[in-house]
Amino acid sequence: MNEKNRNINGVITPTEKANIFSNSLGFIKKNWIGFTLLASLYAIILVLEQVLPVSSMLFVVLKKGAIYALVAVSMNLCNGFTGLFSLGQAGFMLIGAYIYGIFTIPLEARAAVYQYFDGGIINFTVPVPVALIMAGLAAALFAYLIGLPVLRLKSDYLAIATLGFAEIIRAFFQWDKLGPVTNGSNLLRRFPVFSSTLYPFVVSSICITIIVLLINSSYGRAFKAIRDDEVAAEAMGINLAKHKQLSFTISSFFAGVGGALLAMYQTTVQAAPFKAAMTYEILLIVVIGGIGSVTGSVLSSFLFIACSEWWLRFLDSETYIGSFRIPLLASGFRKVVFSIIIMIIVLFYSQGIMGTNEISIDALLRFFKKLFRKGSKEEAT
């Protein structure tokens, strides 16, 4: 409610600066339910890992879903909250994945990995958390440089230019002359990977929390103002160029971290799969979840991954009932069904699952309270 009274031009006044510290304490106090829920989620995953066999599809879904959730939320920050229609996500993920791979392959494995390039030219490794942050920073740096010329463009021109940059980045990483660093078009492998499902969950929940904090800050309000009306936002004193650049760079930072996590999940990195198709997939996740809803993006990433990796798998295998072969079921049918569902959502439910709403703990509590009250009333009558 007091949001309206706050200034939205992104300038931090001294009083606000003083408030930030007490706010962050207040944040933890206010959101203790959220933290408890998150902790219990971690606990559930830990328990599941003990109970279920390692090969269970559930873990694939949880790992990949967590990674895609991070990437989708980062795309949502740029596309949904700032209204910058950027299609460069796959390119930034590629940078993150490569930076992570390049700097974490153990020294003794380098000769084998860089077998065509005499063991490569980078002769040191950094710890995994540092490499994750480096992956993000490298993606952010590229995004900053790309953003300088490109963010002047509008809607579809911005989309096609960022898509173009992603392709350029991909070509660059496959270049032979850079082989000693990037291993050319060969695989990067044998870098440290995570074994526990908890790892991607912890990393992406930290990142998503940071994004949510950003969205709820004065910067986030400035982003939303730019999305809703650029002219009005500028008239209110928001520096358009600065805020667009900021949103684009931060979004790419988290895409880079997501790319590094994806590299860990896949255990190998190659530039080839980071195509425009990957960006489209993430964009569709964002659309399904609702453009401008963080919880929507998270929810739809898990749904999307669960459907494509697990629940709709049966569509891909030929199935017989007795001797009757169920028609249409064959390799690739899953994706057809999937894309039809997506088209239906795009055409008829353009709001996605959540629209611009969020699932907040307060709202959930209110919902349950209402439900409970209704229940008790009915009992009374």
Partner 1 sequence: MEFLNTNLPYILAGISVGGQYALIAIGYTMVYGILRLINFAHGDIFMVAGFAMVYLSATLPLYISIPLTIIITVLLGFAVERMAYKPLRTAPRMSIMISAIGVSYLLQNCAWYITSGLAKQYPTIPWISESISIGTATTKIVTVITPILTIVLVIALVILIKYTKIGMAMRAMAKDFETSQLMGVKINSVISFTFIIGSFLAAIGSLLYFTNYATVTPIAGAMPGLKAFVAAVFGGIGSIPGAVIGAFIIGICENIIRMFGWTTFSDAFTFALLIIILVAKPTGLFGEKSTDKV
User: Tokens representing 15?
Assistant: 């009083």
Residue 66 or 286: which CB sits closer to partner 1?
A: 286
Q: Which parts of the chain are beta strand (E)?
A: 188-189, 268-269, 320-321, 324-325
Give the separation between CA 270 and CA 259, rounded to whole angstroms: 12
Whether 321 contacts 260, CB under 8 Å: no
Pairing of strands 268-269, 320-321: unpaired
Residue 174 or 217: which CB sits closer to partner 1?
A: 174
In the complex, minimum distance from the CB of residue 248 to partner 1, in angstroms, rounded to a whole number: 15
Give the separation between CA 344 and CA 336, rounded to whole angstroms: 12
Q: Helices (H), strands (E): how many in the chain? A: 16, 4
Residue 80 or 256: which CB sits closer to partner 1?
A: 80
Residue 199 or 333: which CB sits closer to partner 1?
A: 333
Whether 208 contacts 121, CB under 8 Å: no
Whether 115 contacts 108, CB under 8 Å: no
Per-residue DSSP letter, 332: T
Binding residues for partner 1 (CB under 8 A): 85, 149-150, 152-157, 159-161, 163-165, 167-168, 170-172, 174-176, 276-277, 280-281, 283-284, 287, 291, 330-333, 335-336, 338-340, 342-343, 346-347, 350
- For residue 169, give the nearest of 134, 129, 141 by alpha carbon: 141
User: Tokens representing 297?
Assistant: 């993006």
Length of the chain: 381
Whether 334 contacts 315, CB under 8 Å: yes
In the complex, minimum distance from the CB of residue 306 to partner 1, in angstroms, rounded to a whole number: 18
In the complex, minimum distance from the CB of residue 157 to partner 1, in angstroms, rounded to a whole number: 5
Residue 199 or 280: which CB sits closer to partner 1?
A: 280
From the number of C-beta atoms within 10 Å of its C-beta (0-12, 13-18, 19+), residue 102 rates as buried
DSSP string, 244-272: HHHHHHHHHHHHHHHHHHHHHHHSEE-ST
In the complex, minimum distance from the CB of residue 344 to partner 1, in angstroms, rounded to a whole number: 10
Residue 165 or 248: which CB sits closer to partner 1?
A: 165
| C-alpha pair distances (Å), 153 with each of 12, 58, 147 | 28, 42, 10
In the complex, minimum distance from the CB of residue 329 to partner 1, in angstroms, rounded to a whole number: 11
In the complex, minimum distance from the CB of residue 141 to partner 1, in angstroms, rounded to a whole number: 18
Whether 270 contacts 93, CB under 8 Å: no
In the complex, minimum distance from the CB of residue 334 to partner 1, in angstroms, rounded to a whole number: 9
In the complex, minimum distance from the CB of residue 17 to partner 1, in angstroms, rounded to a whole number: 36
Q: At which residue do the structure tokens 């879903």 appear?
A: 65
In the complex, minimum distance from the CB of residue 9 to partner 1, in angstroms, rounded to a whole number: 24
- For residue 338, give the nearest of 288, 290, 291 by alpha carbon: 288
Residue 159 or 215: which CB sits closer to partner 1?
A: 159
